């Protein structure tokens, strides 16, 4: 069941730019995620306390984002927006609500750069908007050398289909994500892989994972450890 709500704010301004993902802002059109990955760090946060009660669609997100980006534009406060930091922007319900696509239209209008963080193949639907953003985005002065208005990072914890089926129940298969990465690269985007989290004693050998990234033409790879805080009660 999806709960539809209106929110007061949608664009979160960070006190400090994220050192890994380079985002100055984060944007989450949904709350929680229907991919339902067992290891998700959100389970240990206040937002994950009611995982079983269903998803939330922030139905006024596009309209609210327009107001907030207009205000930031007037102040010339351009910065990279992470889409998304606490949910999957292209999860299954996005096919119905299209909140992510509508938000991308607003981002393109106000020429903000964006970092797409995803496990989904549905991102291919929105390459037209992402191309506009990539070509026209205004980067912060200290990131001009980046020379890309769009970054696309695909998240994987393993490339083993059997392991993924256990830990990433409703997410696209690892091979599907890698193939989507390849298509995104063919379309001219700067894209890579986040092996986050690396599951201790479970994830594949890192050498194989890095080789897979190279085989599918990734521009970059980085990894991160598993966050265990608060997830035990959800699993057990």
What's the CATH number where 172 sits? 3.20.20.70
pTM summary value = 0.91
Checking if the pLDDT of 230 tops 90, the result is no
Cα–Cα dist 167/181, whole Å: 21
Checking if the pLDDT of 229 tops 90, the result is no
State the average pLDDT over residues 176-200: 95
Q: What is the pLDDT of residue 18?
A: 94
Q: How many CB atoms lie within 10 A of CB 132?
A: 18
State the average pLDDT over residues 184-209: 89
- Interval 37-66: pLDDT, tens: 888 766 656 555 555 567 899 999 999 999
Q: Which residue has tokens 């001219």? A: 188
HSE toward the beta carbon, residue 200, CA cutoff 13 A: 4
State the average pLDDT over residues 16-24: 94
Q: How many domains does the chain have?
A: 1
Q: What is the pLDDT of residue 231?
A: 46
Give the residues across from 30 on adjacent strands.
Answer: 57
- Do strands 114-118 and 81-83 pair parallel, antiparallel, or not at all (unpaired)? parallel
Cα–Cα dist 58/4, whole Å: 6
Element holding 153 (H helix, E strand): strand 150-156
Q: Running DSSP on this structure, what letter comes out for residue 6?
A: -
Q: How many CB atoms lie within 10 A of CB 222?
A: 12
Cα–Cα dist 58/89, whole Å: 12
CB 168 within 8 A of CB 112: no
Q: What is the pLDDT of residue 87?
A: 93
* Domain coverage including residue 186: 2-235
By C-alpha distance, which of 68, 82, 74, 80 is closest to 139?
A: 80
- 5 token code pair: 């709500």
Collapsing DSSP to helix, strand or coil, 30 comes out as strand
Burial category of 141 from C-beta neighbours within 10 Å (exposed 0-12, middle 13-18, buried 19 and up): exposed
């Amino acid at each position: 069941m999806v709960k539809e709500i209106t929110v007061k704010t949608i664009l979160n301004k960070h006190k400090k730019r994220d050192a890994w993902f380079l985002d100055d802002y984060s944007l989450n059109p949904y709350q929680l995620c229907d991919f339902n990955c067992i290891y998700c760090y959100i389970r240990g946060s206040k937002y994950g306390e009611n995982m079983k009660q269903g998803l939330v669609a922030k139905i006024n997100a596009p309209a609210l984002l327009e107001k907030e980006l207009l205000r930031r534009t007037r102040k010339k406060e351009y910065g990279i927006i992470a889409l998304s930091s606490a949910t999957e922007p292209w999860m299954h319900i996005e096919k119905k609500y299209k909140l992510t696509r509508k938000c991308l239209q607003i981002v393109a209008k106000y020429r903000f750069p964006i970092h797409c963080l995803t496990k989904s193949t549905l991102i291919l639907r929105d390459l037209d908007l992402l191309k506009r953003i990539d070509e026209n985005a205004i980067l912060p002065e200290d990131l001009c050398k980046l020379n890309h208005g769009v970054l696309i990072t695909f998240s994987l914890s393993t490339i083993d289909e059997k392991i993924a089926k256990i830990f990433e129940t409703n997410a696209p298969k690892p091979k599907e994500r890698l193939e989507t990465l390849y298509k995104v690269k063919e379309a001219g985007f700067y894209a890579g892989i986040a092996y986050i989290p690396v599951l201790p004693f479970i994830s594949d050998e890192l050498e194989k994972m890095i080789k897979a990234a190279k085989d599918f033409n990734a521009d970059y790879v980085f990894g991160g450890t598993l966050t265990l805080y608060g997830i035990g009660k959800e699993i057990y």
